[in-house]
Chain A
Amino acid sequence: MPAVQETVEHVRSIDVDQYKYGFVTDIESEKAPKGLSEDTVRFISAKKNEPEWMLAWRLEAYKRWLTMREPTWARVDYPKIDYQNAYYYSAPKRNVLASLDEVDPEILRTYEKLGIPLREQEILAGVVKPEGERRVAVDAVFDSVSVATTFKAELKKAGVIFMPMSEAIREHPELVRKYLGSVVPVTDNFFATLNSAVFSDGSFVYVPPGVRCPMELSTYFRINEANTGQFERTLIIADKGAYVSYLEGCTAPMRDENQLHAAVVELVTLDDAEIKYSTVQNWYPGDADGKGGIFNFVTKRGDCRGARSKISWTQVETGSAITWKYPSCILRGDNSRGEFYSIAISNGRQQVDSGTKMLHLGKNTTSRIISKGIAAGKSDNTYRGLVSAHRKATGARNFTNCDSLLIGDRCGAHTVPYIEAKNSSAVFEHEATTSKISEDMLFYCRQRGMSAEEATALVVNGFVKDVLQQLPMEFAVEAQKLISISLEGSVG
Chain B
Amino acid sequence: MLLQLRNIFKWVNSGGQRLFLLKDINLNVEEGEFISVMGPSGSGKSTLLNVIGMLDNFDEGEYEFLHEPVHTLKEKHRANLYKEYIGFVFQSYHLLDELTVKENLEMPLLYKKFKGTERRAMVADMLDRFNIVGKKDLFPTQLSGGQQQLVGVARALIANPKLILADEPTGNLNSAQSEEIMGLFKQLNSEGVTIIQVTHSEKNAAYGSRVINLLDGRMIK
Query: Are both chains from one complex?
Result: no
Binding site for B on A (CB under 8 A): none
